[in-house]
Structure 1
Amino acid sequence: MSEEYRAKVFKSGNSVALRLPKALGLKDGDEMMIVREDRAGFKVEPIEAPRRKIDLTGIWGSMPEARPFTPEEREFDDPPRDWHLLDPDYKP
């Protein structure tokens, strides 16, 4: 079931703006797509924000000891584990 809200159009500079109720859950800065439909009026939908990328330029080079692993360093030995130390009832 859909809910109905009233919104008011008002003058904002040389444009008009549509004030939407807070109950819709929108935040300041949210972007909306407005589509004018034939004779039906308008459709207003939120636009998903693009995924943010992490900017590492500020920390690049701050850890000179950090370097990619060589293929030899990527391999590791898998020593046997003493499971009986974790669970005294363990039976192999």
Structure 2
Amino acid sequence: MTKEYRAKTFKSGNSVALRLPKGLGIREGEEMVLREDRGKFAFEPASKEGRKIDLTGIYGSIPGLARMPTDETDRDWGDGLGRD
């Protein structure tokens, strides 16, 4: 049987927020994905595997950091055992 919870929305800064009941078992700070389909909303925990960090905006901002070669033949992988 499906459990039903009721909650009211409230203003949080320039957003509208919805406080979720503790009984749902969602931990504080957990990232969620929210989907809307024809006026119905569904949410689920975000996949940690799909997370990517976009560093293109900071390229060139770290002095002394050399750009990685794009061709694998240019890379020096050493012997793979931590010894160069």
- TM-score with structure 2 setting the length: 0.52
In structure 1, what is the Cα distance between the partners aligned to 2:22 and 2:45?
14
- Structure 1 match to 2:12: 12
Where do 5+ consecutive residues of structure 1 fail to align? 51-67, 69-92
> What CA RMSD, in Å, does the superposition of the two structures yield over aligned residues?
2.1
- Structure 1 match to 2:29: 29
* 1:28-54 C-alpha deviation (Å, 9 max, x unpaired): 111111111024x1111121334xxxx
Q: Which has the larger radius of gyration?
A: 1
- Structure 1 match to 2:38: 38
| SS of corresponding position for 2:23 | helix
Please say if residues 8 and 20 of structure 1, whose CA atoms lie closer than 8 Å, have aligned partners that are also in contact. no
Percent identity over the alignment?
54
Moved over 3 A (4+): none
State the Cα distance separating 1:6 from its structure 2 match: 1.0
- TM-score with structure 1 setting the length: 0.48
How many aligned residue pairs are there? 52
Where do 5+ consecutive residues of structure 2 fail to align? 50-80
